[in-house]
Amino acid sequence: VSGVARADSTTAKTLRGIDRITVVMEMFPFVDKDNDVLEQIVQPQIESELMRRGIKVVPDSDSNAPILPVSLKSIKAAQGADLNPPIFSVSLNPSTASQSHVYGLSIALKQNVTLARNSAIKADAATTWEQSVFGMVPSQDYVHSVRFNIMAVLEHFLNDYQSVNLK
């Protein structure tokens, strides 16, 4: 089960002229071995796809480069747990056989901007493009499902990028 929150078409314009990006992986919780596996697999795939589409990937020491944070937050929940807000039941026993992962992921583009109403006001790392996916999957499908959704959101980003950067 998953749902998507899509960036609107006007945000694509903010991608015009971008020639380089810094990719930052934000995986929470930090101690989840599945998230470690995802980071090791997905970051090189993301960087490769960006370069294949003509976007140079630079280290975070390039302070003028836009940042592409890939953010993933997840929790293991016991199957059948009540996941209705504001409270839900979570199994703290990692050996529980019937577990699911509930996750939210987003890919955003953050870049330095200047306000139109006052060019003296500059904002660092303002979000100018973002898309999110939320889902719940059986734990055994978690890595595959999240990897698939990250790459699908990246494809939306790249389609928007290419729509305003025709080569």
Q: Name beta bridge partners: 129.
A: 109
61-65, 75-79, 147-151: which range is least confident on average?
A: 75-79
pLDDT tens-place string over residues 101-117? 999 999 999 999 998 99
* Confidence at residue 119, expressed as pLDDT on a 0 to 100 scale: 93
Best CA proximity match to 104, nearest among 140, 68, 130, 71: 71
User: How far, in Å, are 38, 82, 92, 125, 128 from residue 110 at the CA level?
Assistant: 22, 35, 35, 5, 6
CB 25 within 8 A of CB 37: no
pTM of the predicted structure, to 2 decimals: 0.81
pLDDT tens-place string over residues 24-75? 999 887 556 777 888 889 999 999 999 999 999 999 888 889 999 999 999 8
pLDDT band at 8 (very low <50, low <70, confident <90, very high): low
